């Protein structure tokens, strides 16, 4: 800040204008907090996704909260959620959340961007335990760390079309300029295991070069598959661009909510985890290790709806 009393400074050497300061973002979103919680600290965390991608969120939660038990539900019978109508996604999400609560979870993490965009408000209104989505934590982190306010968002076609990230970022930072791009081929490339192949690099440049040319300084990875492409995306965007990993930010939000509500388990515990798929548990078992970063011993099958 220039001292106004120092008027002897030559006018030709006027001080450069100060950069805008990012606003202070609340650590825990008020909408996340429940009306009441009766589950004990030892109860598990429930996580669901339309398929495998949400395992990247589970992995980050396991890393940050090593004492927590997890029940993960992958709705592989009805994947993908992106082409489904909002009403259908809300119905699926309610069914899964109700089942997780029946299993005794203390918090539900919606580890799916499409389900978060369409169903989070309904779930938070309908259920009395904390329900955390993947959009708002990443959006608030981007608003907080961006120096210029020029923020890029990449995601599936459904997530980008919903405008959920734009709304959440603008709610946290009104002056933000947002450039969103759908990257639909990233998901099948990740599920094929093509994380750094020539074809993947070509696709990455096709999607990301316009964002790089627009000089965004922060890029939100708005799909739970995309963290597996983080090294490639970072190289394509250049070293000066901050990547916001929605899985990491959602895990951090879960940690804050549990601490705020006094629901955190003993970090020295040795938890066991459950993995449930609504179809093709054998495929889930084979592919899940790529997303989770460790072996999955068993996958249960449960069909809802």
Active site residue 183: no
Q: Which of 109, 112, 160, 164 is catalytic?
A: 112
Q: Are 143 and 173 in contact (CB under 8 A)?
A: yes
Active site residue 223: yes
SS3 call for 133? strand
Helices (H), the chain: 55-64, 86-102, 113-126, 135-145, 157-162, 164-172, 186-192, 198-213, 230-237, 246-261, 281-292
C-beta contacts of 13-22 below 8 A and 24+ residues apart:
19/147, 19/148, 20/149, 20/175, 22/143, 22/144, 22/145, 22/146, 22/147, 22/149, 22/173
Q: Are 153 and 207 in contact (CB under 8 A)?
A: no
Q: Within 10 Å of residue 139's Cβ, how many Cβ atoms?
A: 31
The DSSP code sequence of 141-195 is HHHHH-SSSEEEEEE-HHHHHHTHHHHHHHHH-TT-EEEEEE-TTHHHHHHHT-S
Structure tokens at 173: 């930072």
The CA-CA-CA angle for residues 97, 106, 39, to 5°, reads 125
Q: Which of 220, 221, 223, 247 is catalytic?
A: 223
For residue 30, give the DSSP letter: G
Strands of the sheet with 300-301, listed across from one edge: 131-133, 107-110, 45-49, 70-74, 274-277, 300-301
Q: Are 217 and 254 in contact (CB under 8 A)?
A: no
Residues carrying an active site annotation: 112, 223
């Amino acid at each position: 800040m220039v001292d106004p009393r120092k008027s002897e400074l030559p006018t030709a050497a006027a001080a450069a204008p100060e950069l805008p300061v990012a606003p202070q973002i609340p650590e825990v979103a008020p909408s996340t907090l429940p009306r009441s919680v009766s589950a004990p600290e030892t109860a598990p965390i429930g996580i669901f996704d339309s398929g495998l991608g949400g395992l990247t969120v589970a992995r980050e939660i396991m890393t940050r909260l090593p004492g927590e038990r997890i029940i993960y539900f992958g709705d592989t019978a009805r994947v993908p959620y992106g082409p489904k109508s909002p009403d259908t996604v809300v119905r699926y999400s309610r069914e899964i959340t109700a089942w997780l609560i029946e299993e005794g979870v203390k918090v539900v993490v919606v580890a799916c961007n499409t389900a978060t965009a369409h169903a989070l408000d309904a779930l938070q209104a309908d259920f009395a335990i904390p329900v955390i989505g993947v959009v708002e934590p990443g959006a608030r982190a981007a608003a907080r760390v961006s120096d210029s306010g020029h923020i890029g968002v990449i995601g599936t076609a459904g997530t980008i079309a919903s405008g959920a990230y734009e709304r959440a970022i603008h709610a946290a930072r009104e002056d933000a300029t947002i450039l969103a791009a759908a990257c639909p081929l990233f998901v099948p490339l990740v599920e094929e295991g093509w994380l750094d192949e020539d074809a993947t690099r070509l696709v990455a440049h096709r999607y990301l070069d316009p964002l790089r040319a627009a000089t965004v300084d922060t890029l939100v990875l708005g799909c739970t598959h995309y963290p597996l492409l983080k090294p490639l995306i970072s190289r394509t965007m250049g070293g000066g661009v901050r990547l916001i990993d929605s899985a990491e930010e959602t895990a951090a939000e879960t940690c804050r909510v549990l601490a705020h509500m006094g629901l955190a388990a003993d970090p020295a515990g040795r938890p066991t985890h459950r993995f449930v798929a609504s179809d093709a548990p054998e495929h889930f078992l084979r592919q899940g290790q790529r997303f989770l970063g460790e072996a999955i011993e068993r996958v249960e099958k449960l069909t809802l709806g």
